[in-house]
Amino acid sequence: MSLFSVCRYLSTTSLKITNPIFPKNLSPSSSAHIYWTHLQKDVPNIERTLDRVKIKLDPLCLISVLQISADFNQPLLGLRFFIWAGLQPSYGHSLYMYNKACNLLRIDRNPEIIYDVVHAYWTERCSVTVKTFKVVLCLCKEARLANEGLWVLRRMKEFGCGVNTVAYNVVIRSFCYVGNVEEAVRLVREMGSTGNFPDMITYGAIVKCYVDGGRLDEAFGLFRGMKAHGCVPNTVLYSILIDGVCRFGSFEKALELLCEMENGGKSCRPNAVTYTAVIQSLCEGGRSVTALSVLDRMKASGCSPNKITLRTLINGLCVEGNVDDAYKLIERVVEVGDLSVGECYSSLVVCLLWVGKFEEAEKVFRILLVGGVNPDGLASSHLLRGLCLKGRILDGFRLHKDIEILGSVSGIDSDIYSLLLAGLIENNYLVEAENLAGLMSERDIQLKPPYLEHVVDYLKSSGKSELLSHFYRSQK
């Protein structure tokens, strides 16, 4: 279907605004106000008017204009402004901005706007480039509008814009995101007839789609056939396949792929994410001791474990009752300097708590404090919560004081403070409660529900109006 025939039945939102409209709280000197003023001019090819505005474009200005267009039910104006902004040499849209535009303009609920903007470009004889279409296609991908993206791809030739691999990839990824891998594969086959060829992004999207659907045989078939098309799998692609094998396949196959990577070139060397995926799969399958050998391979390849790797291994060992092996692992990691003492033993504290070894976790934590080692916020928060839930409120308060001496309280969750403060009041530890409430006020820590009412009642009865006003403000 040609664009001319589409134009006969598309209903395009009019750009004409008889009486200019502005938000009351928008300063006339702001860049958003100035851009919005130009957008409301009743002229064709509004992009030419915008080109004459010599004002710095930034994300805050763009979001403001999009919000205004949404508030005044002029999404097409907002969309054209967004597309125009994405073409400016001094500015480029981030993934966040694409997501923001889709949400503010509700593109996923109003897919007709994609047809409308292309129709407007045609009827107004706007200067449109491949980059223009790329912005539109990326919006379709972000809004999960795969069919609309394909329609836009088909329109590019009518504007004299050659379809390239980048454009195909955006549409292919759109179909992969919505789970329609068959259409994605069909587009890959089509690429050759247009003089374009799939690249690593193309294969990566389809392999991941196969993997997410548990279709490992097809994923492997495509993976193995890449080399025939001059595309050598890289670390990212190997990692995607290993993740799928770990979730739906066999550990042996994952180790085989890992071996391929280790013996391959620099482009496919395994990284910490790759090794951690295999280790996690082995631990979840009750084979944490085998996972230790993968850690050895990781070290041998010159790749250092990170906190996630270590915590995954420690948790697997603790769950299987191999706590002694967890201690030995930490000693080895600390000795070679991969991670700090605080990071390692904080992970052990959290894992011990997860498997119900509260007393041992508390003992390890207190040894850290005595040794002047800072535990991380996660370990501190988990242990303090456990003390409160066990009714050891005063112990929790005193432990918090010890943590504060080391300067490690910044990572503690704010809801822990609420739980601790409410517990102190309920158990009539009023001096300690006032001390903690003052600290929360000083550091602007918000009081979380459902503890607010109980704490406020106490503050009212004790005449602590200054603290009371703080906690009221924190809820606004």
Whole-structure pTM over 0.85, yes or no? Answer: no
Cα gap 83→75, rounded to integer Å: 12
- Contact between 139 and 98 under an 8 Å Cβ cutoff? The reply is yes
Is 66 in contact with 82 (CB distance < 8 Å)? yes
d(CA 61, CA 35) in angstroms, rounded, equals 9
Structural domain boundaries in the chain: 1-162, 357-412, 415-476
Long-range (24+ apart) CB contacts under 8 A made by 416-421 are 416/381, 416/384, 416/385, 416/388, 417/445, 417/447, 418/447, 418/448, 418/451, 418/452, 418/455, 419/385, 419/388, 419/451, 420/384, 420/388, 420/393, 420/396, 421/447, 421/451, 421/455
What confidence score (pLDDT) does residue 474 get?
Answer: 46
The two structure tokens encoding residue 132? 């223009």
Per-residue pLDDT tens, the chain, 476 aa: give them: 444 344 434 434 444 444 556 565 667 678 888 898 888 887 888 999 899 888 888 999 999 999 999 999 999 999 999 999 999 998 889 999 999 999 999 999 999 999 999 999 999 999 999 999 999 999 999 999 999 999 999 999 999 999 999 999 999 999 999 999 999 999 999 998 888 989 999 999 999 999 999 999 999 999 988 877 788 888 999 989 998 888 887 788 888 899 989 888 778 889 898 999 899 988 988 899 989 999 999 988 888 888 899 999 999 999 999 999 999 999 988 888 888 899 999 999 999 999 999 999 999 999 999 999 989 999 999 999 999 999 999 999 999 999 988 877 778 888 898 899 889 888 888 888 888 888 888 888 877 777 767 777 776 776 665 555 655 554 44
Tokens 């706590």, residue located: 323
CA–CA gap between residue 184 and residue 199 (Å, rounded): 14
C-alpha span between 254 and 216 (Å, rounded): 12
Q: Tell me: the pLDDT tens digits for 19-43? A: 556 565 667 678 888 898 888 887 8
Per residue in 48-90, pLDDT (tens digit) is 989 988 888 899 999 999 999 999 999 999 999 999 999 999 8
Give, in order, the Cα–Cα distances in Å from 28 to each of 24, 52, 58.
10, 18, 17
Longest dimension (CA), the chain: 80
Which among 45, 139, 149 is positioned nearest to 101, based on CA atoms? 139
Residues in CB range of 132: below 8 A, 6 or more apart: 83, 87, 121, 161
pLDDT of residue 475: 46
pLDDT value at residue 459:
67
- Extract the tokens encoding 57: 């474009």
The phi and psi torsions of 374 (rounded to 5 degrees) equal: -80, 115
CA distance 237 to 261: 11
Taking the CA atoms of residue 92, residue 96, residue 101 and residue 104 in that order, the dihedral angle to the nearest 10 degrees is -150
Residue type for position 356:
G
